Amino acid sequence: MRQAFNAASLATPAFRYSHVVKVGPHIYLSGLLAQVPETGALEGTTVGAQADRILQNLQAVMQELALDFSHLAMARIFTTAMERFSEINAAWEAVFNALDVPPPARTSIGVAALPMGALVEMEFTFYREG
């Protein structure tokens, strides 16, 4: 059975899509931008600051969905600034180096543009039985 819904801990979508889609044990989280949940405004003017905000939003939605990092299977990172990817890695490592579980698989993709003029977008896939 497919369930689709929006997370209260994320900014309201500007278009018709669901933040979260659950199909069996798989949970798909739509791409996250560095949006302030309360206003939807983009936060941060650097790649690192935007990556940090995205990872904060990720943790908030994980808490809302009763997920933890052991459930995180895949991450996809899109950026318009591949030459500054070290800033994304620094934000990533600040979160994932402190964990006792292995990090997820990860793909990084350079793109020409992202919604709202963002520098970074990340999407995540979780796996949780039950």
User: What pLDDT is recorded for position 128?
Assistant: 96
Domain layout of the chain by residue ranges: 2-127
Would you write out the chain's pLDDT as a tens digit for each of its 130 residues? 899 999 999 999 988 999 999 999 999 999 999 999 999 999 999 999 999 999 999 999 999 999 999 999 999 999 999 999 999 999 999 999 999 999 999 999 999 999 999 999 999 999 998 7
DSSP 54-109: HHHHHHHHHHHTT--GGGEEEEEEEES-GGGHHHHHHHHHHHHTT-SSPPPEEEEE
When the candidates are 3.30.1330.40, 3.40.50.1820, 3.40.50.261, 3.40.50.300, the CATH number that belongs to 2-127 is: 3.30.1330.40
Residues forming a β-bridge with 123: 76
User: What pLDDT is recorded for position 14?
Assistant: 85
**Which pTM was predicted?**
0.96
